[in-house]
Structure 1
Amino acid sequence: MKIEVRPLDNQDAGALLQFEETHFQDIKAKEIAPAKLSRSVSAFANTAAGDLYIGIDETIIGGTKTREWRGFSDPEEANPFFQILETLAPGTHFWDAEFVSSEGYPGYILHLSIQKTRGVLKASNDIAYVRRGAQNLPVNDDEAFRSLEYDKGIVSFEDELVNAPLDLVTNSATVIEFLLSQIPSAEPERWLRSQLLLVENKPTVAGALLFADSPQAMLPKRSAVKVFRYQTVEEGVNREVLAFDPLTIEGSIYDLIDKAVNSTKQIVEGIKRIGSEGLEEISYPDETLHEIVTNAILHRDYCIPTDVQIRIYDDRVEVESPGRLPGHITVTNILDEQFARNPKVVRLINKFPDPPNKDVGEGLNTAFNAMRRIRLQEPEIIQKDNSVVVYIRHTRLSSPAQIVMEYLEHNPTITNQTGREITGIRRDVQMKDVFVALRRANEIELVPGKRGKASVWRKTARTTRQGRDDQERDLFSLLTEEQERPKKK
C-alpha cells in the first residue's frame, strides 16, 4: 500500500513537537512494539477517535519534558504497524495513515488517524481499552466490558427486564390510548409480546418507558427529567442562585418529552437580558429546544442511574444526557451519521400521534439550522466521561465589536459588565480587549473620570458626528426622492 507523504514547514513541525497528549491525541517513539501500540488504537477506537504520531521521543529530566523528532528512515520501516492494524479488525477500515516530513528534521513521522468503531475493538492481547484523559485503561472485567457494550450501543439497556407486574404496562392508560388510535383491534398483552416489550412475563425497559403511565416507579433515577433555573451567567454555581427548587418531570416517554420541552420554553420566556435597546426577552427557536431535548431523552444510556438534566441560565440552556455517544458517533460526525442506542424506543415512539421524532435522524440538523436562521451561534456538543452536554447559547453571530457599536447606537455609554452581558464574553479581560481595539480604531473613547474597574466607554465625537451626518444624508435622500416622484393627476 502506498501512504502519502505530507511535507510540513518548520513552524508546523515545531508545533507538532509541542502539542499536549490528550484524550484525543498521543505520541510514541518509533521503537514501540506494534502489539503495545494496538492498546492505544483500541482505546481511541472504543472511545472518541483520536490521532497517533509515531516517531517522536519524549524524555523528562528534572521535571522538564523534552521531545525530539526521530522518524522512520524510510516509510517501509513502519510496515509492522500496518500489519498489526490489519489484524485487529479484518475488513474494517477504521483508520487512515500518512507520513509527515520536514526539512531539518530526521526521518518520517507516521500519523495514524483512528476512527471510533461500531463494535468493541480489542488490542492484540485480546483486551479492550478505553481512553481517559491521556491514558489507555484496560477493560478487564465482565461488568466493565458490559458497560462498554452499552456505551457502544452493541447491546441496549432497553432490552433488560424490569422486575415489575405486567399490568403496569398491559393495563395502563398509555397503552390503551395508543392502541385505540393506532391498532384498534389489538389486545395490549399480545401486541406488546409481538413487539418484544414483554419477555418471560416481565416488561422490558423499553416497554416500561413507552407504555407505563409512570415508568419512574419502575425505573427510578433514570427515567425522569430535572429542570434547573439558575439566575446567573456564571459557571460552577451552587444552589444559592437557583430561582426555585428543581422541577422533576415524570410520565411515559411520549408525555415526558412534551412536558420537558414546554416547561423549558415557559421558563426561558420569562428571562430578560440587556440588549442594544435595554432589557430584551430571551428566545430560542422552538425547533432547537424541541429537537435537543427529544434527542437527549430518546438516545440517553438508560443503564446509568441519573436523570436527564436541563439547566437554564440567563444566557444559555444546557441539556445533559447520561451516557457517551453510542457506536461510531462522535461530536464531529454527529450531524452526518446515525446510530440509535435505543432502537425499539425510537421506532415505536414514531408511531404515536404527532411523534416527537418526526424526522428520524434529522433532529439535530433541524436544531442547528433553526439557530442559524435567527443569527444565533450554533449549539455546542461536548462529550464528558459519562454524559453528553449540548450548550444552547443566546450569543449572536455578530462580532463582539459589532454588538458593542450597535449597543452604543441606542445608549450613550457602556461598561465592561454590560459588554459581557450583551456579547456573551465570560472574562472581563477579554471584554477589555474588545474595547481597546475599538479605541485604537477611533470608534470609542473612555468617559473622563471613569477609569480602572469603573471604566465607562462612549462613542468618539468623530463616530457620533458621522452617525449624525449619515442620518442627515438619509433624510436628504428621502426628501429628494419625494420631490422627484411624479405627481398623480
Structure 2
Amino acid sequence: MIEVKKISAEDAEKIKNLDEGHFLDLKRKEISPAKLTETISAFANTSAGEIYIGIEESDVLNIKNRVWSGFNDVEEANGLLQVIESMSPLGNHYRVVFYKADNQNGVVLHLTIQKTNEILYASNRKAYIRRGAQKLPIESEIALKRLQYDKGITTFEDELIKVPTEFITNSVVTLGFMIDVVPMSEPDSWLKNQLVIIDGKISVAGVLLFAEEPQAILPKRSAIKLYRYHTGDDEGERDTLAFDPVTIEGHIYKLIEDAKNKVKEIVEGIKKLGPNGLENIKYPEEALQEIITNAVIHRDYSILKDIHIRIFDNRIEIESPGRLPGHITLNNILDDQSARNPKIIRLINKFPNPPNKDVGEGLKTAFEAMNKLRLKKPEIGENENSVIVTLRHESLASSEQMVMKYLETHDEITNAIARELTGIKSENSMKDVFYRLRDRNQIKPVEGKSGRSSAWERK
C-alpha cells in the first residue's frame, strides 16, 4: 500500500526550497513517464537520489519561484508508477511516498531511488548517469564499459596481459608464497587453477599479486604517490611541499605494508598544538592499515591513475581511483559490501598475515580505531572518478572542552592558538566559543589586552 503522509506547512516550504543537485531533483507533475525514467536511470546508475514530483518552478527576471502543485489524488499518478514498476532491474530499489499539507494544492510524489547493481536503462533503451544536477546519456561503447567497471559488472582484474607467464610463475613473490601457503603445489598449475593464468596469458590480478614489479607491466595505475604538505589548508600547493612526492612500488601485498610504514614515519614527525603544548601527531595504525588496504584492493585498475596519499599538518587524505562499486553509496558503505576485484581480495587474503584479515570489515575497523583515540571519525567522499577518505587529527572533545583543557596548563589563550587547537577556521566562530564560556562564568578577557593581542584566562 502506498503511504500518504501529512506534513506541516513548514516542511512543505522546505521541500519547495530544496536545492537541486547530484542527489536531488524536482519535477512538475506533468513530466512524461519517458522523461522520468531517464532521471531514475541516472540516479540508479550513479549514487542514488530523490525526486519530488509536483513542484512547479517559474523564472521571472532571474528570480526563481516554486509552487506546490501536486496530483489531485494518488490515482492520478498511476501512469508514472506503472512505468517505474516496469523498469528492470530496478526491482525494490525504490520507495514511494505521497506528501500532503494544509493550504497546499494536491499531493506531491516523493521517489527515493537506490543505486542498483546492474545498469538501469530508461524507456528509450539508453542508460543515464548523474553529474551534478544533470542527467547525461551514455552514448559510446567506451562510456558504457566505464559504467560497467563502476558497477562491478565487469572487472579489469580479469583482463589478460601479453607478457611471458614466467613473470609470475618464477617470481620471488610467487616462490615465497608457494613455500608458505601451498608447498605441495607447483606454481604454474596452482596459478592456472586460480585463473590468474589463462590461455598462456597473465591476468591483471596475477600481475598485481605475484609480479615483482607490477609497475613495469601496468604503469601509472599500480603505484602509490605520497605527498607531505606543510599546511592545514584545503588544498596543498607546490610551495608547501615538504619534499618531492615519494613513489611506492611493488606487488600489492608489499605495497600496502610499505605505504602504511612510510605514512606512519612521516606523520610521527609532525607536531600539533595540544593542551600541553606541541605534541606528536598519532593516528591509530589500524586505521591507516585498513584505509590504505581498501584503497589498494578496491580501486578501479582500469583507470590510468595511481593512488594518492596526501599528508597535511592536520589530516591525511587517501584517494583511490574509481567510484564506489555496485550498489555501494556513501550512506551504506559501512553496512553493505560489493567487491570490484573479488579475485584480488580472495587471493591476498591467503598471504601470511593478510592486510584484509577481516574481509568486509576494514572501514568499520578504521572508524572504531579513530574513536578509541577520541579522534573524529574518517570522512568518505566521492568525486567523478575517485573515492577520498580523510583522517583528521581533530579531537571528539568539544571546542569548549579543548579551550578549558588548555587553560589548565597555560595562563591564557588567544584566538589564533584556540583555532589551531580546535581546528576552527573562522575567527568569529572561535569568538563565539569564548563568549559561550564567558557566559557560563568560566573564562574572562585578560585585562589590558585588546585587538589582535586579546586573550582569555580562567575565571
Secondary structure of the equivalent of 1:237? coil
Secondary structure of the equivalent of 2:408? helix
Mapping of 1:173-188 within 5 angstroms?
173-188=172-187
In 2, the alpha carbon distance for the partners of 1:163 and 1:63 equals 58
Alignment deviations for residues 307-362 of structure 1 (CA, whole Å, 9 cap, x no partner) = 11111111111111111000000111011001110000000000000000000011
In 2, the alpha carbon distance for the partners of 1:43 and 1:431 equals 42
Q: Does 1:12 align with 2:11?
A: yes
Mapping of 1:277-356 within 5 angstroms?
277-356=276-355
CA RMSD in angstroms, aligned pairs only: 1.2
Report the counterpart of residue 45 of structure 1 in structure 2. Answer: 44
Report the counterpart of residue 478 of structure 1 in structure 2. Answer: none
Report the counterpart of residue 211 of structure 1 in structure 2. Answer: 210
Q: Percent identity?
A: 53
In 2, the alpha carbon distance for the partners of 1:133 and 1:91 equals 22
Bigger shift: residues 129-138 or 225-234: 225-234
Report the counterpart of residue 129 of structure 2 in structure 1. Answer: 130
Bigger shift: residues 322-331 or 262-271: 262-271
Which protein shows a greater Rg? 1
Secondary structure of the equivalent of 1:421? helix
Secondary structure of the equivalent of 1:21? coil
In 2, the alpha carbon distance for the partners of 1:111 and 1:427 equals 38
Secondary structure of the equivalent of 2:304? coil
In 2, the alpha carbon distance for the partners of 1:216 and 1:453 equals 53
Report the counterpart of residue 157 of structure 2 in structure 1. Answer: 158
Report the counterpart of residue 32 of structure 2 in structure 1. Answer: 33
Q: TM-score, normalised by structure 1?
A: 0.92
Alignment deviations for residues 195-252 of structure 1 (CA, whole Å, 9 cap, x no partner) = 1111232211101000000000011010001111111111112121111111110000
**What's the CA shift for 1:91?**
7.5
Bigger shift: residues 228-237 or 19-28: 228-237
In 1, the alpha carbon distance for the partners of 2:239 and 2:160 equals 40
In 1, the alpha carbon distance for the partners of 2:425 and 2:302 equals 36
Alignment deviations for residues 140-183 of structure 1 (CA, whole Å, 9 cap, x no partner) = 11000000000111100101122322221121100111111111
In 1, the alpha carbon distance for the partners of 2:455 and 2:199 equals 72
Q: 1:151 to 1:372 in 2, by over 3 A?
A: same
Q: Tell me the amino acid that sits aligned with residue 193 of structure 2.
A: S
- Check conservation: 2:90, 2:116, Cα contact below 8 A: no
Secondary structure of the equivalent of 1:410? coil
In 2, the alpha carbon distance for the partners of 1:430 and 1:152 equals 42
Alignment deviations for residues 386-442 of structure 1 (CA, whole Å, 9 cap, x no partner) = 110111111111111111111111111112221111112222232222122222333
Report the counterpart of residue 96 of structure 1 in structure 2. Answer: 95
Q: Tell me the amino acid that sits aligned with residue 94 of structure 1.
A: H
| Runs of 5+ unmatched residues, structure 1 | 461-489
Q: Does 1:170 align with 2:165?
A: no
- Check conservation: 2:25, 2:133, Cα contact below 8 A: yes
Report the counterpart of residue 272 of structure 2 in structure 1. Answer: 273
In 1, the alpha carbon distance for the partners of 2:183 and 2:386 equals 39
**What's the CA shift for 1:90?**
5.4
In 1, the alpha carbon distance for the partners of 2:220 and 2:333 equals 27
**What's the CA shift for 1:449?**
3.8
Alignment deviations for residues 234-275 of structure 1 (CA, whole Å, 9 cap, x no partner) = 111212111111111000000000101111111111111111
Mapping of 1:308-457 within 5 angstroms?
308-457=307-456
Report the counterpart of residue 141 of structure 1 in structure 2. Answer: 140
Aligned length: 459
Alignment deviations for residues 363-403 of structure 1 (CA, whole Å, 9 cap, x no partner) = 11111111112211111111111110111111111111111
Q: Tell me the amino acid that sits aligned with residue 179 of structure 1.
A: M
Report the counterpart of residue 231 of structure 2 in structure 1. Answer: 232
Q: 1:108 to 1:214 in 2, by over 3 A?
A: same
Q: Tell me the amino acid that sits aligned with residue 217 of structure 1.
A: A
- Check conservation: 2:89, 2:118, Cα contact below 8 A: no
- Check conservation: 2:90, 2:120, Cα contact below 8 A: no
In 1, the alpha carbon distance for the partners of 2:89 and 2:177 equals 45
In 1, the alpha carbon distance for the partners of 2:403 and 2:225 equals 36
| Runs of 5+ unmatched residues, structure 2 | none
Q: 1:449 to 1:237 in 2, by over 3 A?
A: farther
In 2, the alpha carbon distance for the partners of 1:450 and 1:66 equals 50
Secondary structure of the equivalent of 1:32? coil
Bigger shift: residues 156-165 or 379-388: 156-165
Alignment deviations for residues 24-66 of structure 1 (CA, whole Å, 9 cap, x no partner) = 0000000000110011100100110000000000111111111
- Check conservation: 2:89, 2:120, Cα contact below 8 A: no
In 2, the alpha carbon distance for the partners of 1:125 and 1:450 equals 71
Report the counterpart of residue 105 of structure 2 in structure 1. Answer: 106
In 2, the alpha carbon distance for the partners of 1:17 and 1:277 equals 50
Q: Tell me the amino acid that sits aligned with residue 171 of structure 2.
A: S
Secondary structure of the equivalent of 2:235? coil
Q: 1:6 to 1:452 in 2, by over 3 A?
A: farther
In 2, the alpha carbon distance for the partners of 1:384 and 1:445 equals 45
Report the counterpart of residue 58 of structure 1 in structure 2. Answer: 57
**What's the CA shift for 1:458?**
1.8
- Check conservation: 2:41, 2:122, Cα contact below 8 A: yes
Q: TM-score, normalised by structure 2?
A: 0.98
